[in-house]
Amino acid sequence: MRRPPVPVRTGNSSAKAGAHKKSFLIFCAVIKQKQLQLKYMAIATIKERFKTKADAASQEIKELLKQHGQKKIGEVTLAQIYQGMRGVTGLVSETSLLDAQEGIRFRGYSIPELREKLPPAKGGSEPLPEGLFYLMLIGDLPTQEDANEITSVLQRRSHVPNHVFDTIDALPLNTHPMTMFVIGVMALQTESNFSKEYAKGLAKKDYWSPMFDDAMDLIARLPRIAAYIYRRKYKNNEHIQPNGLLDWAGNLAHMMGFENESFKELMRLYMTIHADHEGGNVSAHTTHLVGSALSDPYLSYAAGMNGLAGPLHGLANQEVIKWIFEMEDELGTDSPTKEQISDYVQKTLSAGKVVPGYGHAVLRKTDPRFTAQMEFAKKHIPDDKLVNTVWKVYETVPSILQSLGKVKNPWPNVDAHSGALLVHYGLVEYEFYTVLFAVSRALGVMASLIWDRALGFPIERPKSVTTESVKLWLEEKEEIWEG
Ligand SMILES: CC(C)(COP(=O)(O)OP(=O)(O)OC[C@H]1O[C@@H](n2cnc3c(N)ncnc32)[C@H](O)[C@@H]1OP(=O)(O)O)[C@@H](O)C(=O)NCCC(=O)NCCS
C-alpha cells in the first residue's frame, strides 16, 4: 500500500506552525488553569461542609466522653474472645449501622429508603453512588446538585498515572483480579498527598485534610484501574478510554465495555448497596485499623481489600455463581427443580462445605441488599433462567440450613444474588466480581477514614491474651491486665 505523501514544510509555514503551537500551548495552559480552579472550588465547598460537620461532631464527642466516658457499654465473655469477637462493641464508625433484623442503615436510611430518596443519574431511577458517598461523608441527604458535584469532582480527579498500568502489566495474566487490583492500588500510593505532607511535618489537627484529598483521588481513580484489569485479563488487553461526561458507576460500565443502559443502572445500584456495612466487617475494620497507624488511604484501603478477597467475605459473590454453575453442570440442566437444588445443597453440606451466599455474622433475616437486587431483576430481567434459579435456591436453602440447628442466620446475604445479574448482562467472568465489590466498598471505608482522622481517633490497640494466661486467670492466680 502506498503511504500518503508527507507534507514538506517551508521556512514560512514552520514559523506559522510555531506561532500556532505557541497559542495552542497558551490555550491549553488557560484551560488547565480553569480546570484546576474548578477542581479546587468544588472540592473546597464539599471540604468546608465536611469540616463544619466534623468540628461540631468532635466537640459533641468531647462533651459526651467528659460526661459519660466511664460508663460501661457491654461485657466481654471468654467465648467471645475466642469466637471472632461477635457482639463485642469496640469501634465507632459513623457512616452506617447494622441492625440484625432490619439490615443496614446508612446515616439512618435503609436500602429501600435510599433507592427512593437518593438522586438518580439523568434518565435513570437507581441511586447515584456519589449521592450515598455524600450522605456518608456529610451526614445529610444530598440534593441532585450535591450528587452531581461529587460526580464532577471525581471526573476531574480520575487520572491514573502510567506506572500503575505498567505495574499491573508486569503480573502474569493468570493472577487473580483482586491481586492485580490491590497491587494497582499500591502502585498508585506514589500519589498520596497525606504521606508527602506528613513527611514535611503536619500538625495532628490537619491530618484530615490531605486524607480527604487522597480519599477523593483514590475513589475517582478506582473505576479506571478495575476496568483496566477487566479488559487486560478478559478482553484481549483492548482498553476503552474513560468518558468524561459519565457518572462514576456509568463510566466504570463504559470502560469495561458495557454500554447497555440497564447495566449502567445495575452498576449504580451495585455500587450503592455494597458500599458500607458498619465498621466491624473485615474490609472496613482492616481499613480503619491500618489507617489508625496513620498509614495513608492507599495503604489502608489496599489492606482492607486484601480482607475483602477472602471467601468468607467479598469473594463469596464469585463462590455463589461458581456453586450454581457447578450444580447446573452436574445436573445437566439450566433450570433445576427445587428438589434437585435441595439434593445438591445436602451434598454440599455433607462434603463439609458451606452454602455460599447464605448466613451472616450479624444479620438475622434476608439481607435487604439481596431484596434490592431481586426487585431490580423483577423489573428488568424477570425471565432470566439463572436469576430464576437464584430465586428457587432462595426458596430452598433457608429451611435446610435452619434444620441443621447451628446456623444462626439461614437467610441469603448480598452475594447470593449479585452474580446472576452480572451474568445476564454478559459479565460472566466471576473471578472479577469481588473487584466490583471493592470499588464500591471504597466509598464507605474512605468516608469512614476521613472521619477517623477528623475526629482524631488514636492508634488502635486492643489487648490480647494467651490461653496460658487465661488458665491462670481462671485459677485466680493472675489478673487479666486491664490497662
Ligand atoms: C457469613 C458466615 C462466614 C458467618 O459465619 P458465622 O458468624 O460463624 O456463622 P454462624 O454463627 O451462623 O455459624 C455457626 C455454624 O453454622 C455454619 N454455617 C453458617 N453459615 C452456613 C452456610 N451458609 N452453609 C453451611 N453452614 C453454615 C458455620 O460454618 C458454623 O458451623 P460450625 O459450628 O460447624 O463451625 C457464614 O454464614 C458463611 O460461611 N456463609 C457462607 C459464605 C458467605 O456467604 N459469605 C458472605 C458473607 S456476607
CATH number (domain holding residue 385)? 1.10.230.10
239 and 330 both lie in a single domain: no
335 and 443 both lie in a single domain: no
136 and 214 both lie in a single domain: yes
Instruction: Tell me: pLDDT of 116 over 80.
Output: yes
Choice from 319, 350, 358, 440 to test ligand 1 binding pocket (greatest atom count within 8 A of CB) = 358
Q: Whose CA is nearest to atom 9 of ligand 1?
A: 361
In ligand 1, which atom is closest to the CA atom of 281? 48
Mean pLDDT, the chain, integer? 93
pLDDT of res. 480: 77
pTM > 0.85: yes
Q: Is residue 152 part of a domain?
A: yes
Q: Is residue 87 part of a domain?
A: no
313 flagged as catalytic: yes
282 and 260 both lie in a single domain: yes
**pLDDT tens string 233-268:** 999 999 999 999 999 999 999 999 999 999 999 999
Q: Whose CA is nearest to atom 15 of ligand 1?
A: 407
186 and 142 both lie in a single domain: yes
190 and 253 both lie in a single domain: yes
322 and 301 both lie in a single domain: no
Instruction: Tell me: pLDDT of 4 over 70.
Output: no
Instruction: Tell me: pLDDT of 53 over 80.
Output: yes
Count structural domains, the chain: 2
Instruction: Tell me: pLDDT of 174 over 90.
Output: yes
Q: Is residue 192 part of a domain?
A: yes
Q: Is residue 20 part of a domain?
A: no
In ligand 1, which atom is closest to the CA atom of 358? 23
254 flagged as catalytic: no
In ligand 1, which atom is closest to the CA atom of 414? 48
Mean pLDDT confidence for 332-343: 97
**Residue 282 is part of a domain; what is its CATH number?**
1.10.580.10
291 and 321 both lie in a single domain: no
242 and 351 both lie in a single domain: no
Q: Is residue 196 part of a domain?
A: yes
User: Which residues neighbour 142 within 8 Å (Cβ) at sequence distance 6 or greater?
Assistant: 118, 119, 130, 131, 134, 135, 150
Which one of 274, 360, 417, 424 is the catalytic residue? 360
pLDDT of res. 477: 87
Q: Is residue 306 part of a domain?
A: yes
322 and 273 both lie in a single domain: no
- Domain hosting 398: range is 316-424
Instruction: Tell me: pLDDT of 104 over 80.
Output: yes
Q: Is residue 49 part of a domain?
A: no
404 and 445 both lie in a single domain: no
Q: Is residue 166 part of a domain?
A: yes
**pLDDT tens string 34-43:** 655 555 556 6
Q: Tell me which residues have their CB closer than 6 angstroms to ligand 1.
A: 312, 316, 354-361, 401, 406-409, 413, 415
290 and 334 both lie in a single domain: no
Q: Whose CA is nearest to atom 2 of ligand 1?
A: 360
